[in-house]
Structure 1
């Protein structure tokens, strides 16, 4: 990463980017990319430990960064976080709404609390953050809002229903926000990624038959022909967002899926119903369980799956997904 230049007398201050969910995975990569482009950083996330490791990573790369613990589903906490960021740097030029969670499993294993959690972080979270920063951007008459949604916000795949509900809302908010802010000097970019190799499968929550749900999701999030290199994705996202593009769709699979649902919604729905029949069946009454990806992977105990997810595990180590500990599944010997 290029070193940040020193300010000389009379030089304008370097712009400031706020990245939610900036402590790991795609958020950390987006923060790195913004720093390469000479921006000072505010990163927020719920885990102070993750933030501390992310700060160390970014500062070692020459970035000027402030880390602020914050749950973006809490409007009051967001107002406080944005106020602290403005007090520290005096400005915010770029907002990247990236914070996310995912629960994977059949509808019968989900609870209403799962939907509330997903909607709070990924639908209301961008609303809270954007509305908190927007008065400052309006006074400046410029700025960029980059909303990380998902192909799951264009086509509702089975076994990720709370996630899809939240991402559909995020897409609608982002597209409507761009229309509302047209002509103000503030651009809004809707980012629609497909699967990326960020190591996020180790932090996802798997429900129902957790090990079998982890098997299909972890492989999809790791295989090079299905998922995208996350560093390349981060470069494309930031380039598109800072140039003011209306939408950035990533991965050929995501592009094809978005076109398919737009051109042939009924056949797409039938196809998704067929896919649902191939996914793990809901467990019998009383046997449903929930586990984070790293635990579900250990329960799976599959050498083949370890091979299929090797790229995802490498990404997890690189992008702060392991809690600072060895969380990788360990298959049995023999």
Structure 2
């Protein structure tokens, strides 16, 4: 039974590869050189790594984050590398602050060409330790914030008949990971939003790229929220986040994302484990569910 499922996965991968090969010739090249790129959550982690990568490709950077201190440090580091950078502190879960942010970026550069929705939050712990407010908070950070930013830039993209939205989702948006349910729920929602907008915005000349990373070595354990058995929950997440075969370096992910942006891709699953897990979810959901049930048994109660 398992081997039959694996054969189906291999066949699906082959068919998908052939379709991708056919589509590559149709993709528009979307060079970021000279483009104004707004990155939310751009002062650290993947956002900062992506800013570094795009700067080497000639992009004009606009970084947003909640901490002005962190933004200034990021700005100085990027300027020392020869980048042109504008920073503005804002809480992107507040639509009014988002509108002001986009106005500030347009006021500084005269336009905005690319939006990277990277800001987000993570909460680790068992479902029994979560309440509805936890889900609402993570949804605000990981889904609604992206929608607010998209709505704010769309009038500018529409006016210039061009633009690109890059939504940083997660493998947790394709597979509900135990002890990360609020995060998974929010990323499932973001994936749906991103995939739907891909089709709806295309006629206006606006490209949407959905990025599906797995765990990333960005120092994120220092910034996660934890509920339940705090020390044990933090410990398992920190270990998983640091394993090379489970997680990915931020610099490598940033390079891959930048390549995807410039090649006009619509969706990217960044790592092989994430690709396998996504394929198993589609073809062998019972097997994957059983595997996750076993994983849940060894996680803290």
Range into which the TM-score falls when normalised by the shorter chain: 0.7 to 0.9
Q: Which runs of 5+ in 2 are unaligned?
A: 1-32
Alignment correspondent of 1:124 = 144
1:99 is the counterpart of 2:113: no
1:144–1:186 contact (8 Å) kept in structure 2:
yes
Q: Alpha-carbon deviation of 1:111?
A: 2.5
1:144–1:242 contact (8 Å) kept in structure 2:
no
Alignment correspondent of 1:253 = 273
Q: Distance in 1 between matches of 2:55 and 2:206?
A: 21
Q: Distance in 2 between matches of 1:275 and 1:94?
A: 39
2:84 aligned residue (55, 64, 77): 64
Alignment correspondent of 2:39 = 19
1:235-271 C-alpha deviation (Å, 9 max, x unpaired) = 0011102322011111111111100101122332232
Within 5 Å, give how 1:127-276 maps onto structure 2. Answer: 127-276=147-296
Alignment correspondent of 2:65 = 45
1:18–1:43 contact (8 Å) kept in structure 2:
yes
Q: Distance in 1 between matches of 2:207 and 2:54?
A: 17
Number of residue pairs aligned between Structure 1 and Structure 2: 269
Question: TM-score normalised to the size of structure 1?
Answer: 0.78
Q: Distance in 2 between matches of 1:132 and 1:75?
A: 8
Q: Distance in 2 between matches of 1:127 and 1:243?
A: 24
Q: Distance in 2 between matches of 1:130 and 1:147?
A: 10
1:109 is the counterpart of 2:129: yes
Q: Distance in 1 between matches of 2:43 and 2:76?
A: 10
Question: TM-score normalised to the size of structure 2?
Answer: 0.87
What's the C-alpha RMSD, in Å, of the aligned pairs?
A: 1.2
Q: Alpha-carbon deviation of 1:14?
A: 2.5
Q: Which runs of 5+ in 1 are unaligned?
A: 1-12, 282-334
Q: Distance in 2 between matches of 1:58 and 1:170?
A: 29
